[in-house]
Amino acid sequence: MKVLITGANRGIGAALMSTLTVRGNSVLGTSRSGDAGLLPLDVTDPAAHRALAEKLAGTPIDALVCNAGVYLDKGQPLATGFAAEVWAQSFAVNVTGVFLAVQALLPNLALSEAPRIAIISSQMGSDQRAGGGSYAYRASKAAALNLGRNLAADLRPRGIAVGIYHPGWVQTDMGGATAEITPEAAAKGLADRLAGLNLSNTGCFETWDGRTHPF
């Protein structure tokens, strides 16, 4: 399977790239800088998406993993936090960046016999698990979930499956050192989910370990 992962320079993305490679997949990764053999991609920049699409023109992609994300409002107080730029950047990366990646690489996915898209959202985007705080992050991940569900509906006739996933509370810069699982554990589960994604379960919202997550 030929896989492209956005935000593959660290954390879950790097671990998933390693896991999928060990399993025998051909994996491309992106980062903003394009260092360490990764393809350059600022997911907020439409021109960068066009450049990536031009570079990969004619290359079949079996799976696109939209992993790049930011959590900019962690711990911010309601009265004084959540500046407008925090909202703008959160949505630019976590939502618009996902859409632009899908849009740019649709021709590559169309060349695959079993194309699929995995969107890394979060349980913090679930309407049924509204715990308060982190408003920009929660809202952007809810929007990513909604985006994935609607893409699943529109792309089903083209044979492209879409899954949305909560990766777990992971020990990364974003999740913190006291989080529940390692990036490697999250990556193993997400790799399993990606392998099992098809038109029969397109539009799913699942946890990294395969449990159905409430919307």
Q: How far apart are CA 76 and CA 198, in angstroms?
A: 39
The CATH architecture assigned to 2-207 reads 3-Layer(aba) Sandwich (3.40)
- pTM for the whole structure: 0.96
Q: How far apart are CA 116 and CA 203, in angstroms?
A: 11
Q: How far apart are CA 76 and CA 65, in angstroms?
A: 29
pLDDT tens-place string over residues 3-20: 999 999 999 999 999 999
- Provide the mean pLDDT of the chain: 95
What confidence score (pLDDT) does residue 139 get?
97
Q: How far apart are CA 44 and CA 212, in angstroms?
A: 30
pLDDT tens-place string over residues 113-126: 999 999 999 999 99
